[in-house]
Copies of this chain bind each other. A is one copy, B any other.
Amino acid sequence: MRRWNGWGDDSDIFALTDDARAFVRERVGDGVPSTDATREQALKTVPESRVKSPLFVTDAATRLDRSRGQSFPDWIAMRSGRMGPYADGVAFPTTHDEAAVALAEAKKIGAIVIPYGGGTSVVGHLNVPAGDQPVVNISLERMNKLLKLDETSMLATIGAGTPGPQVEALLKPHGYLLGHFPQSYEYSTLGGWVVTRSSGQQSYRYGRIENMFAAGRLVTPRGELDVGGMPASSAGQDLREAVMGSEGRFGLLTEATVRVRRLPEREDFHGVFFPSWEIGLDAVRTMVQSDVPLSMLRLSNEIETETQLALVAGHKTALTWLNRYLRLRGIGQGACMLMIGVTGSEIECNHSRHRALDIAASFKGAHVGRFMGKAWAKNRFRGPYLRNALWEAGYAADTVETAINWNKVTPLMRAIEQTARDVLGKENEKVHAFTHLSHVYRQGCSIYSTFVFRSTGNFEGDYERWRKLKSRLCETMVEHGGTISHQHGVGVDHAPYMPAEKGALGMDLIRAMAREFDPQAMMNPGKLFV
């Protein structure tokens, strides 16, 4: 069963090796484990529902299980059993029309609506506002069917509540795939991806969800909006753009038509080590700006490279040999690992692999073959399981992500890590911060940093540590000219930084758009903008 207060199925336990434990202890000190609340304790905090409508399920467990996402505040709320406020009920429409009925019913009873996809938000998208107005979730989870497949135009229409593995399972028998692989793939849904402008690990080949999303149906408090459908258009505003990034504030996305591809003949991941971050970064930028058609370029900085080898890479003897080989190639302290995804037909893969490895070699990159790539591919969705294990050992983990133009990547990457160390350094706490770039564009790339620090052992202390860290990190990103979010969206955690990115008039525009769809402001208030 899916963990009610963490990530993944509860039968799937990620064990920290002794070496990993020692590595973390050495970096940040001894862990301070907390005592987690039990599910029974948490359930007791769910108050009676304020809605009485046959459309909304109101038992405590159903409401508890949809009251939080996976942000750091969500995480510590779940672990400490302080998960409220709770929605008063949850609707489970199975069709577009039923979704429209559920929304109309919510409007009738004067309830706030929070659309619920897979519950994997990491920025507080799903948080229930306190107050007198009743709140309901409309969960899309039963809208999970393949509704239409146009094989000539390579378009699939799929229920918005379909989670990643099921999207691919629906397409695979027909010989197609979508190719959207966020790290939250196991639980996040098609609709959630679209309304948060998500980006998957192989966005370099498959595009961001923005590039896949061809058409959709949005149920708003003012009626239905059908968007998209044409391959391209110059007819005024592209209304798909209103749906994307709307984070539940404009309406419910019930069905999405996405551009699919034929299953690739072949896929490999290759590891390459560079002598330094700067050289690796130049190599990656050169590959992208030379149009080498790869499916992924994921460059870890020095600290992440070291951390990955220590925490997840496995076999000690293999690592010893790897290090010997790298030293022979002149790569030692400061090595940075690049993971290259090569996907497509045999002929495409041969062409791309050669071109990528040629460029890598011209930047002194040492190709270590596919064994590191195989390990990466095997563990590509395992990262979040580590968070469970670290928490149980008394450590907190969080991430931030942004994107910026190539000319500013290194200064911002360094500033992010340094800011984290400085913020907790003031309290004589250490942060183990490490970074990779994983989404690349001709113009720039994303930056994704992870922070591991000691838990305080209690909710207030952990929240305070996180709050300081998060706010200074967001400020750092904005000051450097990075986006407040490359892939996680805005929710409540990033909302204060939106005006810096969009400008005052831009914020007015977004608010005006929301008013047009939702004049009574019943849809997911407090998210995206305040």
Contacts and interface: CB of A to CB of B under 8 A. Distances in A.
Interface in A196-239: 196-199, 208, 214, 220, 222-227, 229-239
B233 A442 contact: no
Interface in A400-452: 403-407, 439, 441-446
Interface stretch (A28-36, A163-171, A286-294, A459-467): A286-294
Contact of A485 (B234, B442, B498): B234
A445 B505 contact: no
Given A505-B224, A513-B512, A407 B237 contact: no
A487 B355 CA distance: 35
A231 B203 CA distance: 13
Interface stretch (A79-87, A341-349, A369-377): A341-349
Nearest to A488: B234
B155 A405 contact: yes
A508 interface: yes
Nearest to A247: B236
A153 B345 CA distance: 30
B509 A154 contact: no
Contact of A231 (B348, B444, B494, B503): B444
A259 B154 contact: no
B443 A239 contact: no
Nearest to A150: B407
B234 A489 contact: yes
Contacts of A234: 196-199, 245, 483, 485-490
A10 to B, nearest CB: 30
Contacts of A238: 241, 244-245
Q: Which 8 A-B pairs have the closest CB atoms?
A: A231-B444, A197-B234, A233-B483, A153-B405, A231-B441, A241-B241, A152-B407, A230-B483
Contacts of A246: 236-237
Given A405-B150, A485-B235, A489-B234, A512 B512 contact: yes
A513 B503 contact: no
Given A226-B503, A512-B512, A512-B516, A439 B232 contact: yes
Contacts of A453: none
Nearest to A506: B239
Contacts of A2: none
A103 interface: no
A172 interface: no
Contacts of A506: 225, 227, 239
A231 B445 CA distance: 7
A351 interface: yes
A242 interface: yes
B235 A490 contact: yes
A278 interface: no
Interface in A241-281: 241-242, 244-247, 259, 261-262
Contacts of A324: none
A75 interface: no
Contact of A291 (B232, B293, B502): B293
A191 to B, nearest CB: 15
Contact of A509 (B239, B289, B406, B484): B239
A368 interface: no
Nearest to A351: B351
Nearest to A227: B506
Contacts of A485: 233-235
Contacts of A237: 241-242, 244-246, 502, 509-510, 513
Interface in A463-517: 481-490, 494, 498, 501-506, 508-510, 512-513, 515-517
Given A197-B234, A498-B236, A515 B513 contact: no
Contacts of A347: 355
Contact of A407 (B153, B229, B261, B482): B153
B290 A293 contact: no
Contacts of A72: none
Contacts of A223: 504-505
Contacts of A283: none
A187 interface: no
A237 B53 CA distance: 34
B502 A236 contact: yes
B502 A239 contact: yes
Contact of A529 (B198, B236, B245): B236
